Amino acid sequence: MSAAPTTELATFAGGCFWCIEEIFRQQPGVVKVTSGYTGGTVKDPTYAQVCAGDTGHAEALRIEFDPQKTSYENLLAVFWKAHDPTQLNRQGADVGTQYRSAIFTHSDAQAAAARAALEAENRSGHFARPLVTEIVPAGPFYPAEDYHQLYYQNNKNAPYCRFVIRPKLEKMGLDD
């Protein structure tokens, strides 16, 4: 008999993957965060193809986490705070379906938890507008090119990191 897996997967899209990767990387219980593409129809897409907006893919994060140290529900709570889930197909200046808000579920339990969390957020009054986050089953995930991985860690002094990502980290009380 094989042992149960020690980690689980969560897959979220909340705009540019650079903007939320570091937020999830710093969460307790998160083992690994991979930036990539999912939700579309093109196999092995490139960043240029996804940015052109005709692959159907979203920029997304595949998060490997230890369920003994954090829960999927905790990660959902971070997801709602890490981006604006009321903006359809955009986050700030980034516009297009590749920047949509989406939760790609890996099980029926994740789908139920995501739907319940979305309904609770809509009722909470945290947002002035209804959430537009789509909740769909996870499909193939294609890791982004190497230079997208650990983007903030590798580019802390780049203008985009200083003026877009760092304020998000500070807002969430995380290290920069």
Res 3: pLDDT: 61
DSSP 3-state of 53: coil
Res 4: pLDDT: 60
- What is the rounded average pLDDT for all residues in the chain? 94
What are the φ/ψ torsions at residue 70 (nearest 5 degrees)?
A: -155, 165
- 16 catalytic per annotation: yes
Res 92: pLDDT: 86
For residue 2, the Cα-to-chain-centroid distance in whole angstroms is 31
Q: Which residues of the chain have pLDDT under 50?
A: none
Q: Does domain 8-169 have CATH number 3.30.1060.10?
A: yes
Res 5: pLDDT: 67
The angle that helices 108-124 and 72-82 make with each other, rounded to 10 degrees, is 40
- What's the first-to-final CA gap in the chain, in angstroms? 43
